[in-house]
Structure 1
């Protein structure tokens, strides 16, 4: 993994519907601005609940029913708040890393019968363009000894382990199906091997 230079903002308070967190922004050398939400004292700690969440403007901000991103983010906020400590690393890699513009074009293709993977391929893109080096950087910076990773994505677990993060447990984030995301969740389960 190439070492990327990061620039961190100061910590600030962030009161939420799920309780009080600390928030910090950090910028990588490409200019991407990510966020860290921290609950409680996490530095040098083991068994830390961690959610690595890739940006989803349509889900996170507009409460889209086409995906389960909003549900997963809110589940993580609630879980960490109830647990008393934990971290959410919010990465700016929209649409599984393809960007917002391409994501909306993929949505158009999905409106015409393609599934999420087929739509990406029609646009000349891979199934998933995301990577998690920024998350590894954050966890190392905080000297996190081990994590309880909140994910259904086995590739995310493999990536963290490959780069030395001690993933001791996985916390399932079981999403609710609806008529708009049913096919999306089936594709995640059967074609992307997500543990749903």
Structure 2
């Protein structure tokens, strides 16, 4: 189930707020300009190709492209048997920003987005059906866990794809990781 945990960065060991209510999650995130929606998903084979996934969600991708000016869409999919899973997890675990909105629609599985606003960190456990759009310039990081299992459609205004500016702050190392938060949610 999708959850939102809110932490004070000076007391990272305990979440101040935890909710599983999608309307409340949407409202709390919207206060910071984050778009959160839940969309229906389609039944696709576990080994569906990027092309098959993008075709299945062609109408939704086209709508977001027209609405937000996105130029490119792709699919990222990770499974526990991926030999590069540790390196990929580490790549996204440090706080960073982007010069464009970071949009993900989860068509399978789950992962955590951490969003850093002032003294607060919002940890959003996104799951199948969740669409999240993190505004450009928002400090954040992503934790797919030690055994990643998810598929997301990503949209970009930059046709070259994902590019990050790392903040150099250690906040990500001080908060509970995926193992603690996803385990608590399950």
Structure with greater Cα Rg: 1
What TM-score comes out, normalization by structure 2 length? 0.24
Q: Which has the higher strand share?
A: 2
Where relative contact order (Cα < 8 A, 6+ residues apart) is larger, the structure is 2
What TM-score comes out, normalization by structure 1 length? 0.24
Q: Which has the higher helix share?
A: 1
